[in-house]
Structure 1
Amino acid sequence: MAEMSPPPPQDYRPSKGFRREVMDAVTPRASILLLGVLVLELAFIVSYIGAFHSPKPSRVPIAVVAPAGAQAALVGKLNALPGHPLSARSADSVGQARAMVLDRSVEAALVVGPAVGADRLLVATAGGPAGATALQLVFQKADGPRRVVVTDLRAPNPADGRGLSSFYLVVGVIIGGYLASAALAMSFGARPANQHRTLVRLGALAGLSVLSGLGAAIIADLVFDALPRHFWTLWWIAVLITFATAAAGMAFQVLLGPIGIALSVLIFVVLGNPSAGGVYPASLMPPFWRDIGPALPNGAGVTLVRNYSYFGGHDTATAWWVLAAWAVGGVLVGVLASLRRQAKFGVMGPPRAEEGTVG
């Protein structure tokens, strides 16, 4: 008795011919999605190369300590350098200049020595080694034959390498935040069916954010010892960063459907990561990235993690407000947009097809 061939899979169908299969497979909707992917890809390349291709200092805030008769003239000379790499201000003493560097009022301080001798450049490489190196080159050119000796007031922890652990921790939890909102969208529809579903989704994102922050703090502090002695602070900062990103991502989806996922990638990855001040401080980046960085969760998050890990939490007020605004704004926009949709479509919400289900 001849063996029977197994039945074809349920989704199998005979080919209609190559041309017809192409027309069926590459629908107008699929073409638009592919075009969107291409646009995001090129935007990614433009953003990262644009931010990092030619770092140079621009109006970097520094303090200057010099003999009384020469201090004002030196400040004026530094502020008039070609290209305006520095924004110099006077400091009354070396002690005040040191404090200004460590509370992040300035990036560095120049202490001018006697007529014959070396000047000192006080820096804190924990705030970004690339910035300190760029400033050293500026002063070497500006002072001509005078030597500039660099004094590092706050170096990165030995396990923190070039001081990039803060940046990578923030990148990780940012990715977790927008992927969490995208995962819920792919599972249950980009637009929650009603207000209760919106609140449940926000609760799930909040719970994930707590776990995300805990994992980030364990890895950065306890596992690798890269950012030690700040476990609880790192935990709750990472919770806020994750939730701000996730809530904003969900709000984009409620407003725009599946396109909201692409908007999250554009804001948090394409624009947010290169402008965050991780690889290069804001003072070395072109104006566009320098201006948007502090207003995005990425830049605010790096400021919080770095400044609490190394600088006692100084100069963080703006970063707290930025992250709080993204978190609260995401919740409010998501809830209000959901209420509006519920009023429009009724208690049961729109048909499944209108929810913007992905996949």
Structure 2
Amino acid sequence: MRIQLRTVLLALLAVGVQAVMVTAFTWPAARVAPRHVPIVVAGPGPAAAAVARRLDAERHGAFEVRRRPDEAAARRALADREAYGAIVAGPAGPRVLVASAASPAVAQLLTQLSQRMSGRPVQAPQDVVPADADDPRGAAFGALVLPLVMSSLVGGVLLTLLIGAAWERPAGLLLFAAGGGAVTAVIVGGWLSIVPGAYLAIAGVLGLTVLAVSGTVVGLGAAIGGRGLGVGGAVMMLLANPLSGVTSAPELLPRPWGSIGQGMPAGAGGTLLRSVAFFDGARAGGPLIVLIAWAGIGLLLLGLGASRARRAGLHDVARSDVSAPGTPVPERR
């Protein structure tokens, strides 16, 4: 029994798709390491300078050190999301401040590093902005992004395939985003209690993330047809999700992929949700602009697709009128 060439090619294509997906999801996690992570060193000039030099010697290029005069200024920097943690130099040795709400992974890294630098057990780090008590390691928060992206993709595909009238899709898209944000906020903020903060603010961030993902998929589907759905799904699943940095931090991913991930809906949505939930909206402007831009591009593509479909419909009507029985046909001269 001979195997047809088409069967072999399809099997090889499936293997290629699998290899791409495995690489996309495991490569960033396998290469997690600090790369210019912003941290603060505070204290008297000579002591702080010595700590900064020791940091550079211990992990060259791992940290972007920002100097502050004292502990109070260091705490403000963490609360404003200017840094992930701080080392306060003092007579009794360095003390570590962390903001585990920004990244539990970086908080753990700083704790281990301070112990190595001192050569003896150090005081437990003070958590200036702690993660939610029901999710102290941020595992549930990190697990939120993948189902949010996947459900948004599914919603976008269903809206494209099941709503025939192009002009009705924007209404369906907005209803889906608003409802998805509202329900998800009840789940993660109320029932599971892993995302603190005002309900409307959390629902708004989640709804905007849903709109950015599903709007892009629906817009590409309207603009270039079925291929657009495939392109949108591939971008969101194989690029945006694994490069989001939500489970660690963007600065822990290989460069420049962490920055690229922050320019996509999954990364921007996770960063904006952290800012709103834990940091009173500090540093929320950048990710908010990213999400609005993706949602706007999706709606623009959807409008262009609807306009093209309308022109095509009018053209078909005009042709049918010309070719209908009893319609006078101009004589040729």
The TM-score range, normalised by the shorter chain, is 0.7 to 0.9
1:122 paired with 2:107, answer: no
Matched residue, 2:71: 94
One-letter code aligned to 1:51: P
One-letter code aligned to 2:102: G
One-letter code aligned to 2:95: R
Structure number with the bigger relative contact order (C-alpha 8 A, sep ≥ 6) is 1
Number of equivalent positions: 317
SS in 1 for 2:35: coil
Structure-2 change in CA distance of 1:217 and 1:277 (3 Å): same
Structure-2 change in CA distance of 1:249 and 1:36 (3 Å): farther
Matched residue, 2:296: 328
1:253 paired with 2:221, answer: yes
Post-superposition Cα deviations, 1:143-194, rounded to whole Å, max 9, x if no partner, equal 4458464221122222224224433334333222211121233446xxx6xx
Task: Tell me which of 173, 176, 183 is aligned to 2:151.
Answer: 176
TM-superposed deviation, 1:239: 1.2
Matched residue, 1:270: 238
Matched residue, 1:112: 89
Tell me, in whole angstroms, the C-alpha distance in 2 between the residues paired with 1:178 and 1:89.
40
SS in 1 for 2:292: helix
TM-superposed deviation, 1:229: 4.1
Tell me, in whole angstroms, the C-alpha distance in 2 between the residues paired with 1:113 and 1:301.
38
Structure-2 change in CA distance of 1:126 and 1:235 (3 Å): same
Cα pair 2:34 2:62 within 8 Å, conserved: yes
Tell me, in whole angstroms, the C-alpha distance in 2 between the residues paired with 1:306 and 1:71.
29
Cα pair 1:122 1:152 within 8 Å, conserved: yes
Cα pair 2:216 2:295 within 8 Å, conserved: yes
Matched residue, 2:107: 132
Matched residue, 1:217: 185
TM-score normalised per structure 1: 0.79
Post-superposition Cα deviations, 1:279-301, rounded to whole Å, max 9, x if no partner, equal 11112111143121110110111
User: Which structure 2 residue ranges, 5 or more long, are not aligned?
Assistant: 318-333
Tell me, in whole angstroms, the C-alpha distance in 2 between the residues paired with 1:35 and 1:248.
29
Structure-2 change in CA distance of 1:347 and 1:161 (3 Å): farther
RMSD of equivalent CA atoms: 2.8
Cα pair 2:143 2:247 within 8 Å, conserved: no
Tell me, in whole angstroms, the C-alpha distance in 2 between the residues paired with 1:252 and 1:27.
29
Matched residue, 1:70: 47
User: Which structure 1 residue ranges, 5 or more long, are not aligned?
Assistant: 1-17, 350-359
Cα pair 1:75 1:88 within 8 Å, conserved: yes
Cα pair 1:56 1:134 within 8 Å, conserved: no
Matched residue, 2:329: none
Cα pair 1:307 1:313 within 8 Å, conserved: yes
Matched residue, 2:273: 305
